[in-house]
Amino acid sequence: MDLTTNYLRSVDSNENIDIAILVNNIILDAVGQQSSDIHVEPWENTIAVRIRVSGILQELTHLPLELLDRITGRIKVMADLVTYESELPQEGRAPASPEFGNVELRVSVFPTVRGEKVVVRLFDPRNRSFDLKTLGFEPDTLEQFMKLIRRPSGLILLNGPTGSGKTTAIYSALCHLVETHGPTVSISTVEDPVEFNLPMISQSQISNSRGFTYPKALRSLMRQDPEAIMIGEIRDPETASIAVQAGLTGHMVISTIHSDSTAGVYARLINMNIEPFLLASSIAGVLGLRLLRTICEHCKVEAQPNSEQLGLLPDEFVQTTTFYTGQGCDHCADTGYHGRVAVTELLMSDEVTREGVIQKMRTRKLRDLAIDQGMTTLWQNALAKVQRGVTSMDEVVRVVAVDQL
């Protein structure tokens, strides 16, 4: 049983609850279950306490609403926030402490009509491995991607929704560069926020409130003589323009950008007023990323997908594949899944796709062109994991949009 439930059972009334112990137990339970976030949210009749495990929110406990102010007050103290302010959002952090297994807490407090909602993001450096080989890329994608990042110049973009493993993949790419080149390569990053400190890499944290914005940081960074530059995210035309210029002038630039598909990254940048011919010559490749939960080994059973899912699959695939799912057990908190694996789609820039970009080809058409040129899609790479019994059809359909089939 979790510590929070145990503690609540040990006290006889709400007045006797020690808020510091309660909050500590919630954090310890979240850490123990390797969750990424804790949500403390006032609902109609209770405070819902939920944790995000492998990308999925699940309930930890419910608490009486009357405890809300004391709980948010306690978390604000821990994160060094203004305790009497309850009508404006606040953000803060509590540094890693051995008490919580060296997990750093990033706290966001947000006012709602029912009171303040608190989300605590947990950063656990011990759980993170920055080795490209362990992310779950299919072997040919891994080889191509490694080749890409060892190039002396060009722009490499990663694309995927929040929580799709972009930061881990980018950090792994930078660590791979350090491993390959050792002290002969100068690597700088500008990030918002810096999530982990990497060895032999100069990382900088953007601060918009102090005017240290992405464009400002990058313009100065160009005078720092870097070989490789990591930009946390391209989200405005100025940053996009500097990134493209840097990629064209002998730097390896790696960054992330939001768009609804891998091929859609080009249209997004054209909308940021970047000339298509500059994109064609600077972008070396775009990596689409998602994370699939992997089936728990302790409760894995054979299970045929439902008819709707079968309808999405080629007959030959169905005939040659043994499908699995997780039934749920104590090892996986009854979810049927344990851990996650990356699924990718690598759009390599070549003569044909470059020509398509220069002609401002529509995203769908550009994608078809990339497939003709040998791009394995997210869907195909996800099915390869189903075929190996790593994940289930339920998970593939949940994570990879069917329009990407």
Residues near Zn ion (CB under 5 A):
296, 298-299, 329, 331-332
Shortest Å, Cβ 301 to Zn ion: 10
Q: Which residue is nearest to Zn ion (CB)?
A: 296
Shortest Å, Cβ 305 to Zn ion: 19
Residue type, 53: V
Shortest Å, Cβ 33 to Zn ion: 13
215/231 Cα distance (integer angstroms):
10
203/153 Cα distance (integer angstroms):
20
Upstream peptide bond of 193 is cis (omega within 30 degrees of 0): yes
Using N-to-C axis directions, what is the helix angle for 19-32 and 3-10, rounded to 10°?
150
Of 276 and 326, the one with the shorter C-beta distance to Zn ion is: 326
Q: State the pairing for strand pair 154-159/252-256.
A: parallel
Shortest Å, Cβ 34 to Zn ion: 14
Of 77 and 329, the one with the shorter C-beta distance to Zn ion is: 329
Shortest Å, Cβ 395 to Zn ion: 14
Of 74 and 338, the one with the shorter C-beta distance to Zn ion is: 338
Of 83 and 327, the one with the shorter C-beta distance to Zn ion is: 327
CA atoms within 13 A on the CB side of 110: 10
Strand order in the sheet with 90-97: 56-64, 46-53, 37-42, 115-123, 103-112, 90-97
Using N-to-C axis directions, what is the helix angle for 264-271 and 363-372, rounded to 10°?
140
- Residue 246: CB atoms within 10 A of its CB come to 23
Shortest Å, Cβ 293 to Zn ion: 11
Residue 81 buriedness (CB in 10 A; 0-12 / 13-18 / 19+): buried
Shortest Å, Cβ 327 to Zn ion: 7
Shortest Å, Cβ 337 to Zn ion: 8
369/356 Cα distance (integer angstroms):
8
CA atoms within 13 A on the CB side of 267: 13
Shortest Å, Cβ 325 to Zn ion: 10
Of 193 and 328, the one with the shorter C-beta distance to Zn ion is: 328
Compute the chain's Rg from CA coordinates: 23
3-state helix/strand/coil string of 217-285 = HHHHHHHHCCCEEEECCCCCHHHHHHHHHHHHCCCEEEEECCCCCCCHHHHHHHHCCCCHHHHHHHEEE
327/394 Cα distance (integer angstroms):
13
CA atoms within 13 A on the CB side of 154: 18
